[in-house]
Amino acid sequence: MNRRTAIVGIGATEFSKDSGRSELRLAVEAVRAALDDAGLVPADVDGLVTFTMDTSPEITVAQAAGIGELSFFSRVHYGGGAACATVQQAALAVASGAAEVVVCYRAFNERSGRRFGSGVQHREPSAEGAALGWVLPFGLLTPASWVAMTAQRYLHTYGLTPEEAFGPVAVTARRYAATNPAAYFHGRPLTLADHAASRWIAEPLRLLDCCQETDGGQALVVTSLDRARDLPRPPAVIAAAAQGAGRGQEQMTGFHTGDLTGLPESAVVARQLWRWTGLTPADIDVGILYDHFTPFVLMQLEEYGFCGGGEAAGFVAADELPLNTHGGQLGEAYLHGMNGIAEGVRQIRGTAVNQVPGAGRALVTAGTGVPTSGLILTADG
């Protein structure tokens, strides 16, 4: 699969706090925009991949987007952890011959509709529901609260304050968002003092440690590298794509085992990406690391080997790697990681608003604290 497929089209709706239309329509708009960008038409598509959490079925998106027969459709579980895995599924399908052109999409009204941040108070007694049942009665009800538990232990272990550890991640994201017209925080950079003054959400997380809940849709078109070379845009080659779950992995509440200073699922992905590409962190020109909450950006940098344990805050503050150059989900939009993949593609094409000069290798990751996924995208040739 590796280096045999590429992302050839990206398309998104506007990112907003209230889209005013259905999630299905957002999905269809994003798929159409991505096909236009790729120089392809709906009739070219024979595969669709999305998240299990998505409310728009592949068949319905196909029906409304003018797409015909499908020979491949698939969904990936575990929330934002699915993002890069949708591209992996597409690449596997294309490389195996199961499909020729696969569109990955994610669309939701996550801000004006059901907000993840508004919390969970009830679950059915399935295995998945029971897992969350260990924390709900005690008032740990939101994604922020589940992340905060691990974040607190991380700070304690390395003797860091939330301001010095998490502030640089928020400030960096908002610095890039400030110059990105598509970003929610366009024109609104942030200081460390602003971060430190923002109100507590789930201590040690403040408001400005949390991503921007968003309405919108994002789609990505994957096909073979051979076919990509005949299309108008320079291909973003899928040099490697991987999923990862740690031993004893849980969804968001994985604090019952381990030392809570890292993200074992990211280590599983990192190992594969480095092994398959032969690259090392020093070879990466731009990192698009999933930033639903600031602490998990730090832990990813450490798990991927950009720096040692407890050193990531300094690494970010020193600006050692162009990071989340679209503004991330803290600054651009929370599109469940799919907008980050699009940013990785733009960087490889050389068309990002905050372009890293000559960027040829991008690392893109998906939601963490859950089974996760990652990609290395490279320029062709």
Active site residues: 290, 334
> CB 316: neighbour CB atoms within 10 A?
28
Query: How near is the Cβ of 214 to another protein at its closest, in Å?
Result: 18
Q: Per rule CB under 8 A, is residue 196 in the interface with another protein?
A: yes
Stretch that binds another protein, among 13-21, 140-148, 170-178, 328-336 (CB under 8 A): 140-148
Task: Please count the residues of this chain forming the interface with another protein, following the rule CB under 8 A.
Answer: 50
Residue from 7, 104, 149, 375 touching another protein (CB under 8 A): that is: 149
Nearer to another protein, 148 or 288 (CB): 148
**Which residue type does 100 have?**
E
> CB 57: neighbour CB atoms within 10 A?
15
Stretch that binds another protein, among 34-42, 51-59, 253-261, 280-288 (CB under 8 A): 253-261
Phi first, then psi: give them for residue 358, nearest 5 degrees.
70, 20
Query: How near is the Cβ of 136 to another protein at its closest, in Å?
Result: 4
Pairing state between β 372-379 and 236-244 = antiparallel
Stretch that binds another protein, among 44-52, 201-209, 216-224, 273-281 (CB under 8 A): 201-209
Q: Is the peptide bond before 162 cis (omega within 30 degrees of 0)?
A: no
Q: Per rule CB under 8 A, is residue 187 in the interface with another protein?
A: no
Nearer to another protein, 119 or 309 (CB): 119
Residue from 6, 48, 148, 307 touching another protein (CB under 8 A): that is: 148
Q: What is the 3-state secondary structure (H, E, C) of 235-300?
A: CEEEEEEEEECCCCCCCCCCCCCCCCCCCHHHHHHHHHHHHHHCCCHHHCCEEECCCCEHHHHHHH
Q: How far is the C-alpha of 109 from the C-alpha of 116, rounded, in Å? A: 11
Q: Per rule CB under 8 A, is residue 20 in the interface with another protein?
A: no
Q: Per rule CB under 8 A, is residue 182 in the interface with another protein?
A: no
* Site residues (CB under 8 A) for another protein, limited to 64-123: 117-123
**CA quadruple 133, 144, 115, 246: dihedral, nearest 10:** -60
Q: Residue 202 corresponds to which tokens in the numbers above?
A: 């789930």
Stretch that binds another protein, among 2-10, 37-45, 203-211, 212-220 (CB under 8 A): 203-211
Residue from 12, 31, 132, 377 touching another protein (CB under 8 A): that is: 132
Q: How far is the C-alpha of 116 from the C-alpha of 120, rounded, in Å? A: 8
Q: Which residues of 241-267 are buried (b: 16+ CB within 10 A; e: fewer)?
A: bbbbbbeebbbbbbbeeeebbbbbbbb
Q: Residue 39 corresponds to which tokens in the numbers above?
A: 């120089």
Nearer to another protein, 181 or 199 (CB): 199
Residue from 88, 145, 180, 339 touching another protein (CB under 8 A): that is: 145
Query: How near is the Cβ of 196 to another protein at its closest, in Å?
Result: 7
Q: Per rule CB under 8 A, is residue 260 in the interface with another protein?
A: yes
Binding site for another protein (CB under 8 A): 117-127, 129-142, 145, 148-150, 152-153, 156, 191, 193, 196-204, 207, 247-248, 255-257, 260
